[in-house]
Amino acid sequence: MNSLKRLSGFIWIALGVAAVYMMASQAGKEISAAAAANKAVLDTKMFWYIIIPIFAPIMAGLCLFGWYAWKGEYDVVARDSEHLG
Amino acid sequence: MTSTSTSEPMESKGLMKVITASSVGTLIEWYDFYIYGAMSVIIAKQFFPQDNPTAAFLAALATFAAGFVVRPFGALVFGRIGDIIGRKYTFLLTLLLMGGSTFAIGLIPGYASIGIWAPVLILLLRFVQGLALGGEYGGAATYVAEHSPVGRRGYFTAYIQTTATLGFFLSLGVILTTRKSVGVEAFNDWGWRIPFIVSIFLIAVSVYIRLKMAESPLFAKIKKEGKVSSNPLKESFANKRNLKMVLLALFAAVMGQGVVWYTGQFYAQTFIERTMSVEFEQVRYLLCFSILAATPFFLVFGAWSDKIGRKTIMLAGMLLAILTYRPIYKMMYTYSDAKAKTEITESGSKGVAVAVAANGDSTITTTTVAVYTDGSTLKTVKKEVKLADASRPAVKPETTKTLWLSSGGFWMIAFLVFIQIIYVTMVYGPIAAFLVELFPTRIRYTSMSLPYHIGNGIFGGLTPFIATRLFDASKTTENPGGDPYVGLWYPILIAGVCFIIGLLYLPNKNDEDVSD
C-alpha cells in the first residue's frame, strides 16, 4: 500500500502541472478566437482572468501534495491531532 | 485519551444551547450569502446592464464567484484572530460584517441612478460577505466540536452542517414570499431589495444570542495555560507536519465534498432554470421540498460517522455522485425535451403583437404556447425588432422559453434533486468533525478554515460558473442547443480525483480526543 501511495505521488505532480498547462493553453486559444471573431472578448478574458490566478496556486499545492506522497510523508498519517503542529 | 473532548463534560441541555446559538448565526450568514446567488439574474439586470443576457448572467455569477473566491482569505484573517483572541468574539465580528454588507446591498441604487458606482459597490460588498463567511464557519464548527462529548462529535457538529442548507431554504422562502406579496413586476423592480434589508433584523437577534455565550472551554483552557499560538498562520502553513494535513484535508476530502455540495444544491437549480427553462417559482418550490426532505440526513450521516468513520461515508457519497450524476441529469432533462414529448396541437395557441416606437422601429412579439400530453406547457416568446433605418446594425432576435412542469414531472424532478442532496448530506454531514479532529486546538480555527474554504468556496462555489461556461461553449453552429450534460464533467472529474486520493491516503479512524 505504501509503495502505491508513493508512486501515485508522481500522478498528483503530473496532474497539477498538466492542469495549469491546459488552462493556460485553453485560455490562449479562447481569447484569440474571441478576439478574431470580435465576439464576447471581455467575457472570455474575464473568465480566464478569474480562473487561472485562482487555480494555479491550488495546483501548486497538488504538486506539493504529490511530492510529499512520493517522499513517503503519508505512509503513516497521524490521525491524532496531538501529534501535529 | 480522556473520556470527553472537553475538560468538563457538558450537559446535553447546555450543549443544545451552544448548538442553537452557533447554528442560528451560521444559518443567517448563509441566508445572507445565498440571497445574492438566488437573485443573480435580477441583480444582473439592475447592476450589470449588457445586451447579451448570458453575459449579464455571467457577470452576476462572477460576482457570486467573487464572494466565493475571497472566502479562503477570510479564513486566514479570521482564523488567525480566532486562534489568538478566541472563537466567540471572532464569529461575532464575522456576523456583524456579513449582516452589515447584506443590508447595504439592499440599499444601493441601480445602474440607472448612479452608473458605474452601482456594480462597483455591489462587488465590494460581495467581497466583504465572502470574507465574513470565510471566518464564520470554522469558528462555529470548532466551537461546537470543542463542546461535544467523545463519540458524538459527528452528530453534534452535523447541526452546524444543516445550517448551510437551511440558510438556502430560508433564502428561497423569503424570496418566494416577497415575490408573492409584492407581485412579479414590483419584485423585479424594487421588491428584490426586501430580503436583503430583512437581514438586519435576523442579524440583531443572532448577535443578541451569541453575546450571551461563553468562550469555548478548550480555547479558554489553553489561554489560561498560556499555550495560545502567537502566530497561527506560521504554525499552520510553515510547519511541514501541519501543512501536510492541510493538503490532505483539501485534496482527499474537501475538494470532492465541495463540488458534490454545489452541484446538488446550486448547479441543479441553474440547470433546471436555465437549461430546462422551468418557470421561476416551480424551480424554487421543488428545491424547497427536496431540501426540506433531505436535511435530517445531515444528522443521520453525522451520527453514523461517529460509529463507522468519517471516511467511509464521505467517500461513498462522492462515489455515488460520480456514478449517477449523468443518468440523473439525463432523466431530469427528458421533462423539458420537446423532442421526447407529444404536443396536443388543438390546445396550443399562437399570437403576434406589433409595437411601433416613436423612431419608427417596430417590435414584433410572437408568443407560442404548446401543451403536451404529459401535462406540461411551454411558452415561447420571440421578440424581433425591425429597424426603420435599415443602415443601422440589425438587432438580434430574443427568445425566452418558460416551461411549466406537470405535477408528475414536478415531483419526479424534486425527487431527483432530493437524491443529489442526499449525496450532499453524506459528504458534508461528517466534514466538520473530520476537519476538527485533524488539527490541534491552538491552530484549529486557522488550519481547518483554509482547506474548507478552498474546497467549498473555490472548487465548489465555482461549479455553477464553470459548468454554465462549459455548456455555453458546447453550443456550435451545427448544435446550437449545445450539450446539456457537458457541465457535469467538472464535478465528476474533481470528485473522482478526490475519491482516489481519499481512498489511498485517508485513515478511517476518528480522533476521539481533540483537547490537545
H/E stretch holding B354 reads strand B349-356
Selected for mutation to probe chain A from B501, B510, B513, B516 (highest A CB count within 10 Å) is: B501
Q: Is the pLDDT of residue B309 over 60?
A: yes
Structurally, at CATH architecture level, domain B12-335+406-505 sits in: Up-down Bundle (1.20)
CA B315 to chain centre: 21
Residue B265 is classified by DSSP as: I
What are the grid coordinates assigned to B376, written together? 406540461
Rounded (5°) CA angle B298-B304-B309: 115
pLDDT of residue B145 exceeding 80, the answer is: yes
Q: How far apart, in whole angstroms, are the C-alpha atoms of residue A4 and residue B330?
A: 36
Return the domain boundaries, chain B: 12-335+406-505, 340-404
What does the block give as the cell for B441? 486546538
CB-based contact A85 B506, cutoff 8 Å: no
Is residue B61 within 8 Å of B40, Cβ to Cβ? yes
Grid coordinates standing for B21?
A: 446559538
Phi-psi map region of B412: left, alpha, beta (phi>0 left; psi -120 to 50 alpha) = alpha
Residues in A closer than 8 angstroms to B511, CB to CB, are: 79-81
Please answer whether residues B87 and B444 qualify as being in contact, where contact means their C-beta atoms are separated by less than 8 angstroms: no
Report d(CA B297, CA B478) in Å as an integer. 44
Residues 420-439 of chain B with CB under 8 A from chain A are: 437-439
Per-residue pLDDT reduced to its tens digit, B244-300: 999 999 999 999 999 999 999 889 998 999 889 999 889 989 998 999 999 999 999
Task: Answer whether B475 touches A (CB < 8 Å).
Answer: no
Query: Grid coordinates 476521539 are at which residue?
Result: B512
Q: State the DSSP code for A12.
A: H
Provide φ and ψ at B351, rounded to 5°.
-135, 145
What grid cell was written down for B438?
485533524
Whether residue A85 and residue B439 make contact (CB cut-off 8 A), yes or no, is yes
**Cβ-defined contact of B55 to A40 (cutoff 8 Å):** yes
* Contact between chains at B69 and A4 (C-beta distance less than 8 A): no
**Does A76 reach chain B within 8 Å, measured CB to CB?**
no
CB A84 to CB B52 under 8 A? Answer: no
Instruction: Please indicate whether residue B180 or residue B21 has the higher confidence score (pLDDT).
Output: B180
Q: Which positions in chain A touch B58 (Cβ < 8 Å)?
A: 43, 46-47
Reported ipTM: the value is 0.91
Do residues B20 and B205 touch, judged by C-beta distance below 8 A? no
Q: How far apart are CA B95 and CA B133, in angstroms?
A: 8
Contacts of A8 in chain B (CB under 8 A): 500, 504
Per-residue pLDDT band at B310 (split at 50, 70, 90):
very high
Using a CB–CB cutoff of 8 Å, tell me whether A4 touches chain B.
yes
Identify the pLDDT of residue B263.
Answer: 95
Question: Per-residue pLDDT for B56 more than 80?
Answer: no
Q: How confident is the model at residue B512 (pLDDT cuts 50, 70, 90)?
A: low
Contacts of B262 (CB under 8 A, 6+ apart): B456, B460, B461, B463, B464, B491
Predicted TM-score of the model (pTM): 0.88
SS3 label, residue A78:
coil
Whole-number Cα distances in Å, B204 to B25, B200, B208: 10, 6, 6
